[in-house]
Amino acid sequence: MLFKMNETIIKHSTLIKVKISLLIIIQWSLLICWSIISAFSWNDEWRNIALHLIPEDIQILRCVNLFVIAWYIFISLIIWNILDEYKINNKDKLLSLFSFLFVPSIFLSIEYFKYLSFLNIIDLLKNEFGNSSNAQQIIKRKSFVYILSCVLFGIYIIVIPALAFYVSPNNGLKIYLPNNSEHIIWTDLWFNSLQFFTIQSNFLCLFVLLIFVINPNAHFFKNRILLIIATINIIVVCLVYNCILLPNYIITKKINNWDLQNWLSLAFNHIFNPISFVIFFIILNTKYKHKIEIKFKNYFISTLLLPTIYLIYAICQPFVSYTSVYGFATNLNPNVLTDLNTPGNSINIIYIVLIYLIFCCLSLVFYFINNKLMIRRSKDEK
């Protein structure tokens, strides 16, 4: 019995170290991407030129690079959190804390790459996406919530990529040049689609549904943190767009110039997808309830990491390109003109702080409602 227990502990420890090794590979890949993109977008040719004179493709590279840097730090924080949570590498805790730096990354790579092997990776995948050993209730494939997830996945897999990877010529980004009453139009995929929090949140919901359809009882859904993160993000998308942006489009009569893509985006990305995903979340978490077992601090940080990365991107974008992801609301650079030739202003940070507070509030609400319902359910069962 003791031997089997020790064997299980050793295997679990090995799988954790394999997970760290794979995360380090992602970390190094992002670092390489950052170096290559920087070489093209921040070389001497473009370094000291005014933002509005830099070519569109170079500005796209700079903004993509912001995301690469943000995700590099994000992955590094995950690595450190795993090291901290499982008390791995305690002797080098300070070093692991700065795992996003070059030298510590080399050290961690040497330390953990020895655990990489085909069999270990297969075991890790089976462990993460296989059935959870402590599942309180088994979700059957004939259940209503599973059938609902399949239906939603079938809709999402068609609608979300279609709306994300096509930009209508009528929906290009207007660029207002200094001392010029006219504007130019950019119709690239990044500035007009992929950079938006709406698109990224919808893809996150699609990913969650994909994993759920493959195995609704997967260990991957333990504590359902990713599900909660996706739900919080898509709720914010729905609230901000329909309560703030859409009324502005109606008042300024921009809605009069909308084409089919705009209306489909409103119908699916901002109304149907958020509402249907929230319904899926409610049904799943009322019938198949799971208590959030991780510490509140870890839960709170987990739910705020993606919004934090995105809002940092939104703040920095006007300083590396002549654009602002959400027009005047995220434009803090007075040298960049957005929305009818209006320059940026540092006071606009208020909008970003308010959005961030919405994320914080929703995170707290989800945590306390989830655990309160779980406690109430446990009492009822007794």
Tens-place pLDDT, residues 138-183: 888 889 999 999 999 999 999 999 999 988 877 888 888 887 777 8
What does pLDDT average to over the chain? 83
Give the pLDDT band (50/70/90) at residue 89: low
Show Cβ contacts of residue 91 under 8 Å, excluding neighbours closer than 6 positions.
none
The alpha carbons of the chain give a radius of gyration, in whole angstroms, of 23
Give the pLDDT band (50/70/90) at residue 380: very low
Give the pLDDT band (50/70/90) at residue 5: very low
In this prediction, residue 254 carries a pLDDT of 81
Show Cβ contacts of residue 15 under 8 Å, excluding neighbours closer than 6 positions.
120, 123, 124, 127
Q: How far apart are CA 166 and CA 184, in angstroms?
A: 20
Residue 200 vs residue 4, higher pLDDT: 200
User: Do residues 108 and 97 touch, judged by C-beta distance below 8 A?
Assistant: no
Does residue 11 surpass a pLDDT of 70? no
Q: What is the mean pLDDT of residues 366-378?
A: 67
Show Cβ contacts of residue 4 under 8 Å, excluding neighbours closer than 6 positions.
none
Q: What is the mean pLDDT of residues 281-285?
A: 89
- For β-strands 183-186 and 173-176, DSSP reports them as antiparallel
- For β-strands 337-338 and 342-343, DSSP reports them as antiparallel
Give the pLDDT band (50/70/90) at residue 272: very high
Helix/strand/coil for 259: coil
In this prediction, residue 255 carries a pLDDT of 87
In this prediction, residue 231 carries a pLDDT of 95
**How far apart, in Å, are the Cα atoms of 11 and each of 7, 115, 123, 305?**
6, 11, 9, 30
Give the pLDDT band (50/70/90) at residue 288: confident
Unique residue bearing structure tokens 């000291």: 48
In this prediction, residue 296 carries a pLDDT of 82
In this prediction, residue 133 carries a pLDDT of 59
In this prediction, residue 66 carries a pLDDT of 92
Does residue 26 surpass a pLDDT of 60? yes
**Which of 146, 276, 157 has its CA nearest to residue 212?**
146
Q: What is the mean pLDDT of residues 197-209?
A: 95
Most confident of 122-126, 153-157, 223-227: 153-157
First to last CA, the chain: 32
Give the pLDDT band (50/70/90) at residue 74: confident
User: Do residues 108 and 19 touch, judged by C-beta distance below 8 A?
Assistant: no
Residue 154 vs residue 19, higher pLDDT: 154
Q: Which structure tokens are listed for 245?
A: 């942006």
Q: What is the mean pLDDT of residues 358-382?
A: 72
Does residue 278 surpass a pLDDT of 60? yes
Q: How many CB atoms lie within 10 A of CB 282?
A: 12
Q: What is the mean pLDDT of residues 82-96?
A: 61
Largest CA distance in the chain: 80
pTM of the predicted model as reported, rounded to 2 decimal places: 0.88
Q: How far apart are CA 202 and CA 340, in angstroms?
A: 29
- Residue 359 exposed, middle or buried by CB count within 10 Å (0-12, 13-18, 19+): buried
Given 3-state DSSP classes, what are the helix, strand and coil percentages for the chain, each rounded to the nearest 5? 75, 5, 20
In this prediction, residue 381 carries a pLDDT of 46
User: Do residues 336 and 322 touch, judged by C-beta distance below 8 A?
Assistant: yes
**How far apart, in Å, are the Cα atoms of 3 and each of 13, 123, 191?**
15, 20, 57
Q: Picking from 10-14, 49-53, 90-94, which range would have the lowest pLDDT averaged per residue?
A: 90-94
Does residue 3 surpass a pLDDT of 50? no
In this prediction, residue 340 carries a pLDDT of 66
